[in-house]
């Protein structure tokens, strides 16, 4: 949809000292890559919002420069600048007395598109962000929190700006809705390729969404700027280590490729087949080779054929095409047999993986990293 080249944003020695002396941002140096999601994360008051708002000049820096594609933002007309920058905030910030459609059409209308064209564009965007067309005539208060956030995203995208600034856009919704909004954003971004700066205080959200993550500490000092996998594997100091939190070793597996993992053979049976003689675990599949559950020969209780009543639910599945070491390990650990079920893109059983297989790959990665360092 967006044919314009996306923009690089650069902070060079950027400082914001408020009139009362508070230093919200201190000598920030950072390059926000074009067409990627960059996340600013850190504890409350560390200067995330201030940094974000200096990009579209809702706040002016007191030192240093911010450039967009090499041009100093303070040299541009603020209104012109903002036309190329979508802005999404917590609670969506919608106009309560305007319909959903007119909320989304706000910027196109300001740009003088004319009512019909602006509303046509708004309708298109409702579909893009997954909102039902019949909500067009409702008012914001008649929508759920998650739906309102979708409207906020649609409104920010209405004029197709190359840059999108998002300040804790999903923090007011419950965890389940939040996760689906995050997934939607990733899907949208894979289509749109905007330069997105996303602010959150939630490290899990940061590592899920960010191509790169900037961890800030109070006082507006950049602690670490890295890809999510590196952040989890190699926090630069105790502050970052504490901030990225518990289980970082396990969560870091989500960023390691599982391409080299060995897929073992997995004995399978169909429902209705005779019970095997031994006491081993066997995976039960349907005619399409989709997993149905496990059968344990030791628990046959006189059964002669494998029937649904004897099935033990399986664990998570590891997708050999898109899975990570984390999903491989989880498949192994959550399987009643200890053998994780690997499936192909169509969900058909491809073989088995064990926790040992995963740990072997982790060890190889560590050895390669040490050799490279």
**Sites of contact with Mg ion (CB under 5 A):** 49
* Count of residues that interact with ligand ATP, criterion CB under 6 A: 12
Task: Give residue for tokens 């609670």.
Answer: 91
Q: Which residue number, 49 or 147, has a Cβ lying nearer to Mg ion?
A: 49
Q: Is 84 exposed, middle or buried (0-12, 13-18, 19+ CB in 10 A)?
A: middle
Contact of residue 358 among ligand ATP, Mg ion, none (CB under 5-8 Å per partner type): none
- Three-state DSSP class for 305? strand
Contact of residue 44 among Mg ion, ligand ATP, none (CB under 5-8 Å per partner type): ligand ATP
Q: Which residues contact 348 (CB under 8 A, 6 or more apart)?
A: 288, 289, 290
Contact of residue 320 among Mg ion, ligand ATP, none (CB under 5-8 Å per partner type): none
Binding mask 324-353 for ligand ATP (x = CB under 6 A): ------------------------------
Contact of residue 210 among Mg ion, ligand ATP, none (CB under 5-8 Å per partner type): none
Question: Residue 216 Cβ, how far from Mg ion at the closest point, in Å?
Answer: 11
CA nearest 8: which of 195, 159, 227? 195
DSSP H helices in the chain: 48-55, 78-83, 100-104, 106-110, 115-128, 145-157, 175-192, 203-209, 228-233, 238-244, 248-252, 325-334, 355-372
CA torsion sign, 106 to 107 to 110 to 113?
Answer: negative
Stretch that binds ligand ATP, among 3-11, 18-26, 117-125, 157-165 (CB under 6 A): 18-26
Cα gap 81→159, rounded to integer Å: 13
Sole binder of ligand ATP in the list 13, 18, 336, 346 (CB under 6 A): 18
Cα gap 138→341, rounded to integer Å: 46
Which positions from 34 through 53 interact with ligand ATP, judged by CB under 6 A? 44-50
Strand partners, 224: 215
Q: Which residue number, 17 or 201, has a Cβ lying nearer to Mg ion?
A: 201
Cα gap 361→9, rounded to integer Å: 37
- Three-state DSSP class for 70? coil
Q: Which residue's CB atom is positioned nearest to Mg ion?
A: 49
Cα gap 172→104, rounded to integer Å: 20
Contact of residue 161 among ligand ATP, Mg ion, none (CB under 5-8 Å per partner type): none
Cα gap 319→211, rounded to integer Å: 22
Stretch that binds ligand ATP, among 17-25, 275-283, 299-307, 364-372 (CB under 6 A): 17-25
- Three-state DSSP class for 178? helix
Which positions from 160 through 219 interact with ligand ATP, judged by CB under 6 A? 201
Stretch that binds ligand ATP, among 19-27, 118-126, 231-239, 354-362 (CB under 6 A): 19-27
Q: Which residue number, 89 or 143, has a Cβ lying nearer to Mg ion?
A: 89
Q: Which residue number, 49 or 268, has a Cβ lying nearer to Mg ion?
A: 49
> How many CA within 13 A on the CB side of residue 319?
8
Is residue 24 close enough to count as binding ligand ATP by CB under 6 A? yes
Residue by residue, DSSP assigns 285-298 as E-TT--EEEEEEGG
Question: Residue 20 Cβ, how far from ligand ATP at the closest point, in Å?
Answer: 5
Contact of residue 20 among ligand ATP, Mg ion, none (CB under 5-8 Å per partner type): ligand ATP
Question: Residue 238 Cβ, how far from ligand ATP at the closest point, in Å?
Answer: 20
Sole binder of ligand ATP in the list 4, 20, 238, 265 (CB under 6 A): 20
Question: Residue 49 Cβ, how far from Mg ion at the closest point, in Å?
Answer: 3
Cα gap 163→254, rounded to integer Å: 28
Q: Which residue number, 45 or 193, has a Cβ lying nearer to Mg ion?
A: 45
Q: Which residue number, 18 or 250, has a Cβ lying nearer to ligand ATP?
A: 18
Question: Residue 75 Cβ, how far from ligand ATP at the closest point, in Å?
Answer: 24
Q: Which residues bind to ligand ATP, rule: CB under 6 A?
A: 18, 20, 22, 24, 44-50, 201
């Amino acid at each position: 949809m967006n044919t314009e080249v996306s923009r690089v944003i650069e902070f060079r020695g950027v400082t914001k000292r408020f009139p009362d002396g508070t230093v919200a941002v201190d000598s920030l140096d950072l390059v926000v890559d074009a067409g990627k999601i960059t996340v600013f994360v850190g504890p409350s008051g560390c200067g995330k919002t201030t940094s974000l708002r200096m990009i579209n000049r809702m706040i002016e820096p007191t030192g240093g420069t911010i450039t967009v594609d090499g041009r100093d933002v303070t040299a541009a007309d603020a209104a012109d600048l903002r036309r190329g920058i979508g802005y999404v905030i917590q609670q969506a910030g919608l106009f309560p007395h305007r319909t959903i459609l007119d909320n989304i059409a706000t910027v196109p209308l300001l740009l003088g598109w004319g009512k019909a064209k602006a509303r046509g564009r708004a309708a298109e965007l409702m579909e893009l962000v997954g909102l039902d067309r019949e909500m067009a005539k409702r008012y914001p208060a008649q929508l759920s929190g998650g739906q309102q956030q979708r409207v906020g995203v649609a409104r920010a995208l209405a004029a197709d700006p190359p840059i999108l600034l998002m300040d804790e856009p999903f923090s007011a919704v419950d965890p389940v809705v939040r996760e689906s909004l995050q997934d939607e954003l990733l899907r949208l971004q894979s289509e749109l390729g905007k330069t997105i700066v996303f602010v959150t205080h939630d490290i899990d959200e940061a590592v899920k969404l960010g191509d790169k993550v900037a961890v800030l500490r109070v006082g507006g000092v950049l602690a670490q700027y890295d890809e999510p996998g590196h952040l989890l594997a190699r926090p630069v100091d105790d502050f970052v280590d504490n901030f990225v939190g518990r289980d970082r070793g396990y969560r870091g597996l989500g960023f390691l490729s599982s391409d080299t993992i060995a897929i073992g053979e997995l004995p399978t049976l169909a429902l209705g087949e005779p019970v095997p003689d031994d006491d081993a675990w066997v995976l039960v599949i349907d005619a399409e080779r989709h997993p149905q559950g496990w059968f344990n020969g030791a628990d046959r209780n006189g059964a002669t054929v494998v029937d649904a009543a004897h099935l033990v639910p399986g664990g998570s599945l590891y997708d050999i095409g898109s899975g990570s070491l984390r999903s491989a390990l989880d498949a192994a650990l959550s399987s009643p047999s200890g053998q994780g079920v690997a499936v192909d893109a169509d969900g058909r059983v491809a073989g088995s993986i064990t926790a040992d297989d995963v740990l072997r790959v982790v060890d190889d990665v560590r050895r390669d990293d040490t050799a490279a360092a």
